[in-house]
Structure 1
Amino acid sequence: MQSLTSQSELVPGPRGALPKRCALGVAAASTATAAFLFGERVVSWVSMATLLLTLGPSVHGVLLFLEETINHSNRYRGRSLLARLSDCGLQQSLPWVTLSALLLCLSGSPLPLPHLWTLLWLCAVFYATFRSLGLTAPSEVELSDICETRRMNVAHGLAWSFYLGYLRLVLPQLEDSISAFCASHQSSAPLWSRGSKRLFILIPVNANISHKLEDEDDRVQFYDSLPNSQLDRGGVRGRVYKHSVYRVFNHKGQAHDCVVEYATPLLTLHSMSQDSEAGFGEPQRRAQVLLFYRTLRDVLERSLECRNRYTLILLDDEHEDDVHYLSKSLLRSLQQQDTEEFSMFSSLPKPPEPPTPPPHQEQSHNGVLSREPTLMFSLDRPRTLRSPVETSDCLRGPNEYS
């Protein structure tokens, strides 16, 4: 495994509207071709084609409506009839059936009426039959697109639960916990750089989580735990939230302390893939892990409570032969965070130099200034009332993390 600096090659993005644009382009070209071939009869042919395509879903929607009304009426308790029709797809298909039928009546049928009615009847009946038997069911790509668009995937629920039930509660208190830890562990204080004072969340693509990081990499050693955070949550008084501090060594033996943990919802995905009743294979698990990462990343980027208090590390599973993949991933992330912090502080504008007064204004006679007193304003940047903080760690060179 290794941590990727750019996740664009691994994490799939949301599906776009290319099929829709292509379909509209093909439909426009086909309509233009039909207009060239049939002239004024093109409206009749387009109306008949639209009626054939929309009448089948309407008949299938009627069958679904009967099933829901007879056997599942308790699911719609308190909901209107229009809501039930919409759930069965009738509210979407019936307007198109009505419009296309009206246009066909006004423009005239391109086929003899007996042939037209026979074609409409057979197409509607066979479409409903094929759809009920699953022969025209949505493809896997369509189902995936629907689930992602409507936030119906397992990964979406796990990512939001991880954020709302854990990260949003503990991350705002993380910096104070690290400060208290450094105050009680003087030997550890110099090993914390500015960029390491975050929660580093590991997300392996294969969802295989080790409960002890030192079992994965001997350069990552457990050091101690941060002070416990207690919150009243879900009827539990003083529920305890803990974080573990790990000491990460590079190839030179130089140590860096940071707070590291795996994303625990991945344990659920891994357990589901091991249970046959869940119907969750390895390809589905991998797709859900990547979707979990993308969803959690997007949610955290919009969260003001968690901003600059976390780092997501996605671990690829293509390089399992590297026994120090975990320490290298953590050190790479630490170096990146320190570089960003140093660049941010070094980019601050310097205050302008105060103007030098003329020599004749600096002369005094018997301790009295030779000019009238005036108001003077300081051009220095405002200073904090807090005690000075050691920031030398943020100036570490890149070789210290390798």
Structure 2
Amino acid sequence: MQRLGGQEALVPRPRGSLPKVCASSLAAIAIAGFLLLSPEMSCGLVAMVILVLTLGPLLHGLCLLAEEMFCHANTRYRGRGLLHPMLAACGLGGRTLLAAGLAGLLLYLDGQPLPEKSQCWTLLLLASALYPLFKTLGVLGPSEVEVSDICEGRKMNVAHGLAWSFYLGYLRLVLPRLEDSIAAFRATHQAGPFKGRGSRKLLILVPLNANIAHKLEDEDNNIRFHDNLPNTEIDRAGVRGRVYKHSVYSVLDEQGKAHECVVEYATPLLTLYSMSQESSAGFGEPERRQQVLLFYRTLQDILEQSLECRNRYRLILLNDEHEEDPHFLSKVILRHLQQQEKEEFCLTPPPHREMAHPFATHPTAPPMKGDWHQPDPMSREPTLMFSLEKPQPLREAVESTDHYQGTT
């Protein structure tokens, strides 16, 4: 688990289906109550209400369709297959048409006449005509929660794009090579850094305020630059030998002991911070904070599913409510390193103790020939054994028994 301390309370969870459950329950209660009060007119009135609610969006979709056909047919749809993508983009999908058609069919099959039938049809036409006006003016527009739900569900947020770009363009390239870089670094440094396994991972800092310092020692004087890992050169996008590098920092604990680790900020947060400083981006501080949290959650989900990056990173979400502590950053890094060391398990089997012969102490033990130094194979702890030989094809059984029938 990557979340530590209060991170779980900061990161928003994906929105669920509770609004659908509440809306379905409210509709069921209303229809059931109406059926009990006036069962003879219930079907016709329910069908009329459904028509009111569906014809308005259909008329509004036709207004949007006129704009798309006359102004954006070539630029947005490239003139191919106009009917289907335009209808779907304008909200004239199958669900709305199906609901309106079923409501009209139910109203036609219902034998009970509606009370004041002329007024009902007048209400239907007037409501359907006024709906596109209020929808266009934004009176009936989606709320911020709905827009956020749509953007998160369809992966349309800025944070989703930045997280995928950070993973595909950087982390997936460098993390599989990180262990070799650390091994080469240790071979050239006699001080013996990276003693613990937790320090051999890339620590990625994600501050909530997206305000990133280019030098970690400027944020905390208990953090000191140690050295750079050997450069990683990868041919990328036409650039031969593009250089990727990581910096090693020494983090001092309360006793003054140095702990070396590879740590850096998540670079895409610089983009989020710069966007919040540009008025033309329309990206304020509340939106920036929300996008940082979505970036953290999206990147965490991506990395947890990545086989190339597994067990080679650690995401650290930094809460900006502790800026008054001058050593907050070093304390957070050390806490993550200590937790990582506790989570690491020794996978090497314990050494086997040589055992005496099982019959050596028995009074009727048979005499042993020579020295017995091998342990009992059934008393050893199980270990995994791998064969380096190539698999051989299966062979058919060969009869090897000689049947000899003779007479004397």
Query: Shorter-chain TM-score: what band?
Result: 0.7 to 0.9
Report if aligned partners of 1:109, 1:116 keep a CA contact under 8 Å in 2.
Answer: no
Q: Quick one: structure 1 residues 89 and 110, their matched pair in 2 at CA, closer, same or farther if it must change by over 3 Å?
A: same
In structure 2, the residue matched to 1:395 is: none
Secondary structure (helix, strand or coil) at the match of 2:314 reads strand
In structure 2, the residue matched to 1:269 is: 272
Secondary structure (helix, strand or coil) at the match of 1:76 reads coil
Alignment of 1:1-400 (within 5 A): 4-74=4-74, 75-77=76-78, 78-91=80-93, 92-107=95-110, 108-187=112-191, 189-341=192-344, 344-345=345-346, 356-359=357-360, 360-361=365-366, 363-364=368-369, 379=380, 381=383
Equivalent residue letter for 1:147: C
The gaps in structure 2 that reach 5 residues or longer are 387-408
Q: Quick one: structure 1 residues 104 and 182, their matched pair in 2 at CA, closer, same or farther if it must change by over 3 Å?
A: same
Report if aligned partners of 1:203, 1:293 keep a CA contact under 8 Å in 2.
Answer: yes
1: distance between equivalents of 2:247 and 2:371?
A: 64
Report if aligned partners of 1:218, 1:324 keep a CA contact under 8 Å in 2.
Answer: yes
The count of residues paired between Structure 1 and Structure 2 equals 372
How far the C-alpha of 1:383 sits from its partner, in A, is 8.9
1: distance between equivalents of 2:350 and 2:54?
A: 64
Q: Quick one: structure 1 residues 90 and 176, their matched pair in 2 at CA, closer, same or farther if it must change by over 3 Å?
A: same
How far the C-alpha of 1:7 sits from its partner, in A, is 1.6
1: distance between equivalents of 2:88 and 2:353?
A: 66
How far the C-alpha of 1:5 sits from its partner, in A, is 2.0
Q: Which moved more, 1:271-280 or 1:119-128?
A: 119-128
Q: Quick one: structure 1 residues 53 and 352, their matched pair in 2 at CA, closer, same or farther if it must change by over 3 Å?
A: farther
How far the C-alpha of 1:382 sits from its partner, in A, is 6.0
Deviations 1:317-351 (A, max 9, x none): 1111100011101100000000001xx22797887
Deviations 1:38-90 (A, max 9, x none): 11321111111111001100000010111100111111222341221111111
The gaps in structure 1 that reach 5 residues or longer are 370-374, 385-402
2: distance between equivalents of 1:81 and 1:354?
A: 82
Indicate the percent of aligned positions where both proteins have the same amino acid: 57
Q: Quick one: structure 1 residues 346 and 166, their matched pair in 2 at CA, closer, same or farther if it must change by over 3 Å?
A: closer
The higher relative CO (CA closer than 8 Å, separation ≥ 6) is in 1
Q: Quick one: structure 1 residues 376 and 308, their matched pair in 2 at CA, closer, same or farther if it must change by over 3 Å?
A: closer
1: distance between equivalents of 2:301 and 2:92?
A: 35
1: distance between equivalents of 2:103 and 2:299?
A: 45
Q: Which moved more, 1:40-49 or 1:255-264?
A: 40-49
Q: Quick one: structure 1 residues 83 and 237, their matched pair in 2 at CA, closer, same or farther if it must change by over 3 Å?
A: same
How far the C-alpha of 1:183 sits from its partner, in A, is 0.6
Deviations 1:94-114 (A, max 9, x none): 221111011111115524342
Q: Quick one: structure 1 residues 30 and 305, their matched pair in 2 at CA, closer, same or farther if it must change by over 3 Å?
A: same
Report if aligned partners of 2:222, 2:330 keep a CA contact under 8 Å in 1.
Answer: yes
RMSD: 2.4
2: distance between equivalents of 1:311 and 1:99?
A: 54
Bigger Cα Rg: 2
Q: Quick one: structure 1 residues 350 and 287, their matched pair in 2 at CA, closer, same or farther if it must change by over 3 Å?
A: farther
How far the C-alpha of 1:355 sits from its partner, in A, is 7.5
Report if aligned partners of 1:221, 1:248 keep a CA contact under 8 Å in 2.
Answer: yes
Deviations 1:122-160 (A, max 9, x none): 101111100011111100010000000000000000001
Q: Quick one: structure 1 residues 362 and 316, their matched pair in 2 at CA, closer, same or farther if it must change by over 3 Å?
A: farther
User: What TM-score does the superposition give when structure 2 sets the normalisation length?
Assistant: 0.86
How far the C-alpha of 1:357 sits from its partner, in A, is 3.0
2: distance between equivalents of 1:111 and 1:275?
A: 59
Report if aligned partners of 2:223, 2:249 keep a CA contact under 8 Å in 1.
Answer: yes
